[in-house]
Structure 1
């Protein structure tokens, strides 16, 4: 399995508003950098995406992949794993939310293993860019929708 990376950010919003943005897969192309198309293939009993296909085009990185999601009943976390992908052998990730007053700390964890090996230095730089982008764009989307 790939090495795991974790980053956190504080978002000025309650957890339910953040999870609503995370679960709104149809809107990802509007705010998630490089995301060209998304499609919910299967919904869970709560109506949220259980299996979702993503089409990513972030310059040199292009991929189509399907993730399976597990949403926590308390609304404070979501986990996902790779079902299938073109460029990825595996992907495991999560968002964990910890409310604190009017803000929420969001912790994003991601482990990706690519089909083609990548030199450690480049892999770590790519992970940092992906995580920074994911958290900052999520924060911007949630706070601007307020």
Structure 2
């Protein structure tokens, strides 16, 4: 190994400053503007809407599913099923479908309309999850048949 020295760095010479043309007046210095410039208006109300829709989806779907099951078990215990019990079960089913499917769908559409990609993706995932769970229990034709049979 040699104990050689490193070559010194080359220094860059300063380029001469450009002289101003003699016929022009120097530029007037600009005053600094103290008015704040709003680059992006971040509205806060969509976050409140997303929270309300998410709470409605998380609370409404299981609540009306439990009420639907309770009404169904109550109809099994009685010997005769009345039209009022059928209508009550159908209403619970309708509200369960509204909270499980329409609330996330509405949230996804609103998020896309407001150009909020993350919120749209989250509501689309919630809609897909709800659709898988609901339609694994019964097909859409069976659900609509149950609702139509109770109200028809």
TM bucket normalised to smaller: under 0.3
Using structure 2 for the length normalisation, give the TM-score. 0.26
Using structure 1 for the length normalisation, give the TM-score. 0.26
Instruction: Indicate the structure with greater strand content.
Output: 1
Instruction: Indicate the structure with greater helix content.
Output: 2
Q: Which has the higher contact order (CA 8 A, sep 6+)?
A: 1
Greater Cα radius of gyration, structure 1 or 2: 2
